[in-house]
Structure 1
Amino acid sequence: MSFDAQTLAQALRHAVLAQRFEQTEDSLCGGTAIEHFPSIDLAVAAFPEGAAPVFANVLFSREHPQGLVAQLGADAGSPRNLSYLADQQDAQGRSIAWLPGADWSQLKWQPLCGQGGHQFVSPYPASLIKLMVLVGVARLVDAGRSDWGKAVAFEGRRRALRDWAFDMTVISCNRSTSALVALLHSCGAIRREGQLELHNELHDCFRAYGLPGLRLAHTRPDGGWGNAAGAGVGCLHMTAWDALRLLWLLDRAAPPPPWLPAGTPPLLSAASQSELLYCLQEQGLHEILSSSVLAGLPNWVPGLPARLPLRWLGRDGGAQVGPHRFPGDLSAQTGLELAFAHKTGNTENYGADAGIVRGITPLNRHYLIAFTSNLGRRYVTQPGCVSNWRLPALGAAIDAHLCRLMPP
């Protein structure tokens, strides 16, 4: 079977449609099926051994329930047929686009990026935004304005920068995120006067590296970054394609990014790249596209077959990931043949996951995956989960497709 961009795009599209997301139960509608096909932004870039990269991006929404394939050039640049619209919240801080009965024709949409003919509302990426914060503080270190071992004080606690970064990533600690957002402000990477943001080095960086779909806007000097701080939904954005290409820049085993001119400096130093990859590799919250930490739950649905880092396993076989307790015997990870260095995100209305997938020796599978959606905790049917079982099932289906498509 040939393995090219068109084949991959159709495999991704069929994997999404096979999950029957239109049947997802919505707790805000009394457990009946979701009103509209959910918004899903899914990107994959595969790196077959000895061959050129193969990549694709497919998108679904109430306007595109059968799926829309992004038009991507051979240089893996921005999609040519898409115009992204920014997600939004109302004056009460509600994600109004996803409320039952929301009439999109009556909402005032703001452009995010892109000039193509097909519009797509980019769902808030939830805690996936912490990957952007991680890159921002890494660039501070590389510029000599901070240090991974430096003690950073926040809300009466002093910890090394790398410890704040680790907890922000592997247990998705919001307080650690606030500490690092405050650091970005105190070091001058972000400057604002009152409600006006005057300077944002992350945005300059993302533009320079061809990633217009990444935005970390309207955060506060005290570390505020959520809806209550005037940021959150409508201010923090990550399209799946640009989240994937950010990972491409971080993946030391990936080929050079074809959308950048030859000689473009690396996004990060080798030392900072190692710090970031370590955080992603030790991820404990395998509960979106991979579900290994949930294997002890009744009705478990296996996801992308990624091993849970051993640091999270307790003597009883269950897992303790920060404040999160996962029951069952997770010690025997039979059949889990992948390492998934990734960041997840979830809220009531949103679910996201993006990372670097590598086969565990002797397997040589290697690909990037990024997923954002409006499928959050309100669609959960199994206590102890943060997402619907259809999401890990999608992860498993994508990996199975890639096993068939990628040459040995």
Structure 2
Amino acid sequence: MKAPQAAASQVRREPLTAASLGEALRQAVLAQDFGATPDSQDGGRPVRHFPSLDLAVVAFPDHGAPVAANVLFSREHPAGLIADIAEGYGPVRNIRFLADQRDGDGHSIAWRPDSDWSAMDWVPLAGGEEVARVVAPYPASLLKLMLLVGVGRLVDQGRAGWWQPLSYGGRERVVADWASDMVTWSSNEATSALVTLMHAAGAIRREGGPGDGSELRNELHALFAALGLTTLRLANTTAEGGWGNGSGSGVGQIQMTAWDTVRLLWWLDPLAPRAPWLRPGAPRLSPESRNHAMQALQDQALHEVLSSGALGGVPGWVPGLPARLPGRWLQPDGSLRAGEVSLPGDLRRFAAGGEVWFAHKTGNTENYASDAGIVRGILPRRRHYLIAVLTSLGSRYAPDPRCPTTWRIPALGAAIDARMAAWLEA
């Protein structure tokens, strides 16, 4: 694994364009040598197949139009593909996205060491036939960003309230508190509670059981369609709060791509310029709901994927995107405790320092790690950009049980931020 390098003088000499950003992202991924990542499911040997990474960035220079790029890697494209983005920051045009999949027992199968993609029946997610195919990795808990937006829409329509009591699992709490826990420390219980809210409000209707259930209505999908974000899918959840593989949802039913995720963040970011691809009259969140969403993202405790401050007490720590850690989660000794999450070390230097604010949501399972958010420089730093990465590099590739993924991911975050700082603050 190579250490991130700012290469600031070189970046400044090359103008920030879609082409230069795309190539910079591609080279940043290649520099981390992801193909050498040890796989605990294969005896610690390097991963047999180049892992899948879907990475997108939108930069907001002080002057001029936004600059965006999306790069994708997989076992079929280890050198990386640079996406062709439609005019006006519209959809990706040169990629055929395939839905992730699981077997009849509900297990994720595409990422096993001995998996044979040529023998699998793939379901299209988006894109045409005559373009490069990419399997979109399951987003893991990044999916909670979609649900957060859905709850905000319910509130804005008068069908729920942020301060409305909501009971789940024998506990009653207001919706705002469930939403905060769902995002800040990725509570699965809070996620299930808010899924029940979506069903109770009639925003999602499903019939049948886990094996044969089907949706009759999904207003979240209608919202994403109205926003032009057609690869964002939260399908086949249950009225009881089920959203995992066992409930008939999960892998293969819940989908996100990096490009549509950064465009969702663009729509959400109160300081971003107008999103050019949106049609007049496109849905929007009220200031109150957007503030609730942004506060939850800004209070993120899990700086452990693109940013890594929460892991500062883990041996072998590698710096990531230099984000300030929210001090609210630190104990008197400097260790971190957020809900059910505890992490060691004296992390107070990360709460006092940092170069940027990173309002974001992470995701992690055995097979997947993801992170997406809004980056803004802490004054006098001025950089402002959006970033999303979805990968097949989950905890089975982690060097320590307390890590959600390989150290190569935060190293990638640091390298990208150094490039963005050189471009946006030159």
Shorter-chain TM band: over 0.9
> Partners of 1:197 and 1:214 in 2: how far apart?
16
In the alignment, which residue of structure 2 is the partner of 1:250? 268
In the alignment, which residue of structure 2 is the partner of 1:206? 224
What displacement does 1:93 show? Answer: 1.4
> Partners of 2:424 and 2:24 in 1: how far apart?
12
> Partners of 2:373 and 2:329 in 1: how far apart?
19
In the alignment, which residue of structure 1 is the partner of 2:418? 400
In the alignment, which residue of structure 2 is the partner of 1:390? 408
In the alignment, which residue of structure 2 is the partner of 1:233? 251
In the alignment, which residue of structure 2 is the partner of 1:100? 113
1:18 and 2:31 matched:
yes
Amino acid at match of 1:45: V
Query: Partner of 2:404: helix, strand, or coil?
Result: coil
Counting only pairs closer than 5 Å after superposition, residues 255-294 of structure 1 correspond to structure 2 as 255-261=273-279, 263-294=280-311
Amino acid at match of 1:48: P
Contact map agreement 2:383 2:425 (CA 8 A) in 1: no
Give aligned-pair identity as a percent.
Answer: 57
Query: Partner of 1:67: helix, strand, or coil?
Result: strand
Contact map agreement 1:29 1:100 (CA 8 A) in 2: yes
In the alignment, which residue of structure 1 is the partner of 2:155? 141
Unaligned runs of 5+ in 1: none
Report the TM-score, using the length of structure 1 for normalisation.
0.98
> Partners of 2:401 and 2:203 in 1: how far apart?
41
What displacement does 1:264 show? Answer: 2.7
In the alignment, which residue of structure 1 is the partner of 2:358? 340
Amino acid at match of 2:243: W
> Partners of 1:331 and 1:264 in 2: how far apart?
45
In the alignment, which residue of structure 2 is the partner of 1:176? 190
What displacement does 1:407 show? Answer: 4.6
1:161 and 2:175 matched:
yes
Counting only pairs closer than 5 Å after superposition, residues 358-369 of structure 1 correspond to structure 2 as 358-369=376-387
Counting only pairs closer than 5 Å after superposition, residues 118-137 of structure 1 correspond to structure 2 as 118-137=132-151
> Partners of 1:3 and 1:393 in 2: how far apart?
22
Contact map agreement 1:88 1:233 (CA 8 A) in 2: yes
Q: Please, which of 195, 211, 216 is the counterpart of residue 234 of structure 2?
A: 216
Contact map agreement 2:96 2:124 (CA 8 A) in 1: yes
> Partners of 1:182 and 1:402 in 2: how far apart?
40
1:313 and 2:338 matched:
no
What displacement does 1:335 show? Answer: 5.1
Contact map agreement 1:81 1:117 (CA 8 A) in 2: yes
Q: Please, which of 101, 111, 134 is the counterpart of residue 88 of structure 1?
A: 101
What displacement does 1:383 show? Answer: 3.4
Unaligned runs of 5+ in 2: 1-13
More displaced stretch, 115-124 vs 204-213: 115-124
What displacement does 1:275 show? Answer: 0.4
Contact map agreement 2:223 2:283 (CA 8 A) in 1: no
> Partners of 1:330 and 1:197 in 2: how far apart?
45
What displacement does 1:266 show? Answer: 4.5
What displacement does 1:96 show? Answer: 0.7
> Partners of 2:391 and 2:77 in 1: how far apart?
14
In the alignment, which residue of structure 1 is the partner of 2:7? none
Query: Partner of 2:79: helix, strand, or coil?
Result: coil
Q: Please, which of 123, 139, 142 is the counterpart of residue 110 of structure 1?
A: 123
Query: Partner of 1:207: helix, strand, or coil?
Result: helix
What displacement does 1:323 show? Answer: 1.5
Contact map agreement 2:226 2:283 (CA 8 A) in 1: no
> Partners of 2:82 and 2:415 in 1: how far apart?
18
Contact map agreement 1:124 1:237 (CA 8 A) in 2: yes
In the alignment, which residue of structure 1 is the partner of 2:388? 370
Amino acid at match of 1:306: A
Calculate the aligned-residue CA RMSD, in Å: 1.0
What displacement does 1:193 show? Answer: 1.8
Report the TM-score, using the length of structure 2 for normalisation.
0.94
> Partners of 1:175 and 1:383 in 2: how far apart?
22
> Partners of 1:103 and 1:65 in 2: how far apart?
16
Instruction: Map Cα deviations across residues 123-162 of structure 1 (whole Å, 9 max, x no partner).
Output: 0000000011111111000000010000011122110000
> Partners of 2:21 and 2:329 in 1: how far apart?
34
Instruction: State how many pairs are aligned.
Output: 407
More displaced stretch, 327-336 vs 210-219: 327-336
In the alignment, which residue of structure 1 is the partner of 2:8? none
